[in-house]
Amino acid sequence: MTDLFRLPLHELHLQLGGKMVPFAGYEMPVQYPAGVMAEHLHVRSQAGLFDVSHMGQVVLRPKGTMESLGLALEALMPVDVLGLKEGRQRYGLFTSETGGILDDLMFANRGTDYLLVVNAARKAHDFAHLAAHLADVAELDIQESRALLALQGPQAEAALAVLVPDVTAMRFMDVAQVDTVFGELWLSRSGYTGEDGFEISVPVEGALDFARALLALEGVAPIGLGARDSLRLEAGLCLYGHDIDETTSPVEADLTWAIQKVRREGGARAGGFPGAARILSELTNGPERRRVGLRPEGRAPMREGVALFATDGTGLGAITSGGFGPSVGAPIAMGYVATGFAAEGQALEAELRGKKLPLVVAATPFHPTNYKR
Amino acid sequence: MKFTKEHEWLRVEGDLIVVGITEHAAEALGDVVFVELPEAGTQVAAGDEVSVIESVKAASDILAPVEGEIVEVNGALSDNPGLVNEDPLGGAWFFKLKVDDLGVIDQFMDEDEYKDFIG
């Protein structure tokens, strides 16, 4: 048996009736007694508390200027780092020399440093990647003693404001550091559900009291990984290792919105990131395949690995994430298809248990997002 | 009512055997979102995969516990798969089998034996 890491709030999850499963090397609560469906709908209507302490948090402190560190980060990502203002967060992608995606992440400009939050399954890789490329320009301060919680849903702001009044002033993708009785909180107004909400880094010493205080607030319930997955799928958000990986380029993955103009052909800092030749070419000429949203026409969920076909039987690709969307009330999926079949409304077929079943290319998000811009 | 190691229950109703899944199975599956039923009139052998049940977590097969002919299926499950969680031992039966000898169900566990089986 492999040893799994335990979350700082492991005991709390057990007390709440969490069903623990292995995920990315951690014992994680996949659901609580309410169940995936009820937890999902609770986040959409009220507010849900997620423990995402398995994710990697690292502070990059510049050895020289923030600008030289920002430029060094731009050498790893096809993203505008220099243009990110203090107090703001942005979505980023580490790319490979062949134009694939090594990981996706959030990075924040905190004035005197950058805070990065990376995927649990990729943190060892990412930290090594950062150490190898940024050693001259930054000190890497990996945050081993901080938990990471997410409070998501339309009542998240009102609930969190009871404990941290300052959060009402934050907009989508703002970040803030606030001293509280739970220790210094690092807040961002963001998440992985399509709802308004916050991700909150809290020192491990204060994490249990903070989580209990949040759970005691009106409308707040604990939410497991199962609902986290169905919520992000309805929001059309990628899961690394499934919808994106080293074989998918950001253009194929339909993440071109994450590549700002300044890094594209003709931009002031065009190229200069790993895989730029392929990625810039795909931006101009289009990729061979593209990630799309998919709506099965029947009720049968279509999950990762289900093969996709044109109606004439030509193989096109496969589903990379799929399941039932509790708020949509129907099965939803995403996957890759040859570009000629990627237009919204395109009729396709999927092979499920030996039968070809109809599905259609659909816009994402499947459920409208509710961010506070 | 009798129980199989595959967490199905069997109940005699007239000259038919009614088949469903146990509360334990329904709870383990989580919220059921889709049920694919066999067609009435299908001849099945014991162990045949005759139905598919999908929860928010995963897909599972429902096996024919004994040989026979499926004479009736529960169409209510297609419209309301959540019935499997709400009433697994009652309203959420899956299909009814016509068999040669109703005595075939004696090979399966009774309630106490099933409780021991699931611990």
pLDDT tens, position by position, A88-130: 999 999 999 999 999 999 999 999 999 999 999 999 999 999 9
Best mutation target, B33, B78, B85, to test chain A (most A CBs within 10 A): B33
Strands B95-98 and B59-63: unpaired
Find the mean pLDDT for residues A234-244.
98
Q: What is the pLDDT of residues A136-167, one digit of tens each?
A: 999 999 999 999 999 999 999 999 999 999 99
Q: B56 to chain A: which residues are within 8 Å by CB?
A: 35-37, 226, 230, 323-324, 326
Same domain flag for A153 and A226:
yes
Same domain flag for A204 and A334:
no
Determine the topology of domain B2-100 in CATH: OB fold (Dihydrolipoamide Acetyltransferase, E2P) (2.40.50)
Share the mean pLDDT of chain A: 97
List own/partner pairs for A365-369 with CB under 8 A and 24 or more apart: A365/A194, A365/A234, A365/A235, A365/A236, A366/A233, A366/A234, A366/A235, A366/A236, A366/A293, A366/A295, A366/A325, A366/A328, A366/A332, A367/A44, A367/A194, A367/A234, A367/A235, A367/A325, A367/A327, A367/A328, A368/A194, A369/A194, A369/A195, A369/A235
In a domain, A372, yes or no: no
Per-residue pLDDT at A1 exceeds 60: no
Q: Return the pLDDT at A2.
A: 63
Q: Return the pLDDT at A168.
A: 97
Distance CA A339, CA A316 (A): 9
Higher pLDDT, A1 or A180: A180
Per-residue pLDDT at A36 exceeds 90: yes
Distance CA B2, CA A363 (A): 48
Q: What are the residue ranges spanned by the domains of chain B?
A: 2-100
Asked if B52 has any chain A CB less than 8 Å from its own CB, the reply is yes
In a domain, A81, yes or no: no
Asked if B28 has any chain A CB less than 8 Å from its own CB, the reply is no
Q: What is the pLDDT of residues B58-84, one digit of tens each?
A: 889 999 999 999 999 999 999 999 999
Same domain flag for A225 and A294:
no
Residue numbers in chain B where pLDDT is lower than 50: none
In a domain, A47, yes or no: yes
Q: Which of A198, A214, A234 corresponds to the end of one domain?
A: A234
Using alpha carbons, select from A337, A297, A331, A338 the residue that is nearest to residue A319.
A337
Same domain flag for A42 and A157:
yes
Rounded to a whole number, what is the distance in Å from the CA of A2 to chain B's nearest CA?
Answer: 23
Per-residue pLDDT at A225 exceeds 80: yes
CA distances from A120 to A155, A238, A287, B40, B50 (A): 27, 14, 29, 48, 39
Q: A230 to chain B: which residues are within 8 Å by CB?
A: 56
How many domains are there within chain A?
2
CB contact under 8 A, A299 and B81: yes
CB contact under 8 A, A301 and B52: no
Same domain flag for A225 and A347:
no
Range of the domain at A355: 288-367
In a domain, A349, yes or no: yes
Per-residue pLDDT at A255 exceeds 60: yes
Using alpha carbons, select from A80, A77, A82 the residue that is nearest to residue A129.
A77
CB contact under 8 A, A299 and B78: yes
Q: Write the CATH number for A298.
A: 2.40.30.110
Q: B31 to chain A: which residues are within 8 Å by CB?
A: 35-38, 326
Residues in A whose CB is inside 8 Å of some CB of B read 31, 35-38, 226, 230, 299-301, 303, 323-324, 326, 331, 353
Distance CA A71, CA A148 (A): 28
In a domain, A261, yes or no: no
Which tokens sit at B79? 């419209």
Q: A353 to chain B: nearest residue by CA?
A: B52
In a domain, A246, yes or no: no
Same domain flag for A302 and A194:
no
Helix or strand (DSSP H, E) at A37: helix A36-45
In a domain, A299, yes or no: yes
Q: Write the CATH number for A27.
A: 3.30.1360.120
Residue B85: strand, helix, or coil? helix
Amino acid at A95: T
Amino acid at A231: L
Helix or strand (DSSP H, E) at B60: strand B59-63
Q: What is the pLDDT of residues A183-203, one digit of tens each?
A: 999 999 999 999 999 999 999
Q: Which of A188, A206, A234 corresponds to the end of one domain?
A: A234
Q: What is the pLDDT of residues A58-96, one digit of tens each?
A: 999 999 999 999 999 999 999 999 999 999 999 999 999
